[in-house]
Amino acid sequence: METPSTATERPTNELVRFPIRIRELTLLRRSQVTPLMIRIVLGGPQHEGFESHIADEHVKLIFPDPETGRLAVPTQDGDRLAWPRPGSPARDYTVRQYDRDAGEVTIDVVAHEGGIAATWAATAEIGSTIWVAGPPRGILIPDSFTWQAYLADETGLPAVARRLEELAAGSVPVRGVAVIEVRNAEEEQELIVPEGFEVRWVHRGDARPGTTRLLAEAAREIEIPRDGRAYAWFGGESGSIKPLRAWAKAAGLTKGQFDFVGYWRAGAAGDEVEHHGVIHALKHLLRIDH
C-alpha cells in the first residue's frame, strides 16, 4: 500500500545485473518473420541455467574468424567471463523470447548484406552450434510507470515487442504509444499490444537505415504526461535516436525516467556498439546524467 509520501515519489528504472554465463547452443529452427527479419531458435542441453527476465537484455553471439576460422571462446571466471585477446568476432542481440520449459532461446536478426550474424542466421545448417554469452544486464521498468513510450527501428523492435507482450500479460494497466521505423509495410509485424497502447509504424522507403529523422519527427507528435509517472525508451541507430534524448528531457523526464540503446552506428563495425552499451551501463551505476 502506498503512503502519502511514497505515492508522490517519482518512480525510476533500475539497471539489473546478472551472473554472466557462456554456453554452446544448437540452432533448432529458423523462420522468416518479414522479408528483412530472420527468427532463429536456439536450444539444446546447455540451455540449463539460462536466465532471461528483462525485455531489453541481450546476449553476445560468438563467431569464428571469417578469414582464419579461429574461434576464441571466453572462459568462466566466477560470475563473469574472461575474454581471450585477441577474441573472436561477437555481436549483441536482444533475447526476443525465452521458453524455459521448452529450453528455447528466440532471437530476431535483421538481414543485411555482409553482416556476420545475419549471414549465419540465414545460412547456418539446422543443428549447427554457436557460443552464446550472457545476458549480463537489463533495465527493469517498474509497474508504477503508468504511461510508457517506446520508439525504435528494426534493431530495437525485438525489445519493444517483448516489452509490449509483458505489459499485455501483466495485471497493472499501462497506457502509452510505440513508434517503430521500418522499410515499408511488409516489415510491419503482428504484435501483442496491451489495452490502452497505440502502435504507430513509420516507413523510410528507399532511404538507407540510420539516415532518417522519422523517429524524432514522430516523437514531436507524442504528448508525454507530466504527472511524474511517464517513462520513455528508445533504441536504434545511435545518430538517429540522439535527438530523442532532448525530446525526453524537454518533457520533464529525468534520469531513471527514460533510457536509450544505440544498437548500431552507421558505418561502424559491430563491436563499437557494445562500447556504447558498456558506457551506458556505467552511467547507470554511477548515476551520471545521460
User: Does 270 lie in the same domain as 142?
Assistant: yes
> Comparing C-alpha atoms, which of 57, 49, 75, 287 is closest to residue 163?
57
Q: Which of 41, 68, 55 is nearest to 132 (CA)?
A: 41
146 with 274, same domain: the answer is yes
- pLDDT at residue 288 is higher than 80: no
Residue 37 lies in a domain: yes
Q: Are residues 168 and 241 in the same domain?
A: yes
Check whether residue 156 and residue 59 sit in a common domain.
no
Kindly report, residue by residue over 85-107, the tens digit of the pLDDT. Answer: 999 999 999 999 999 999 999 99
Domain that holds residue 178: 6-14+138-286
Does 45 share its domain with 109?
A: yes
* Residues 40 and 153 grouped into a single domain: no
Check pLDDT > 80 for residue 274: no
pTM of the predicted protein model = 0.88
Cis status of the peptide bond prior to 225, with omega within 30 of 0: no
DSSP designation for 86: S
* Residues 23 and 103 reside in one and the same domain: yes
Last residue of a domain, one of 96, 113, 135: 135
Question: In terms of domains, do 53 and 163 share one?
Answer: no
Query: Do 52 and 93 fall within a single domain?
Result: yes
CATH of the domain at 264: 3.40.50.80
Residue 272 has pLDDT above 80, yes or no: no
Residues 6 or more apart whose Cβ sits within 8 Å of residue 187: 34, 35, 36, 37, 154
Tens digits of per-residue pLDDT, 134-187?
999 888 999 899 999 999 999 999 999 999 999 999 999 999 999 999 999 999
Residue 102: other Cβ atoms inside 10 A: 12
Same domain assignment for residues 87 and 170: no
Last residue of a domain, one of 75, 107, 135: 135
Residue 1 lies in a domain: no
Instruction: Indicate whether 287 pLDDT > 70.
Output: no
Number of domains in the chain: 2
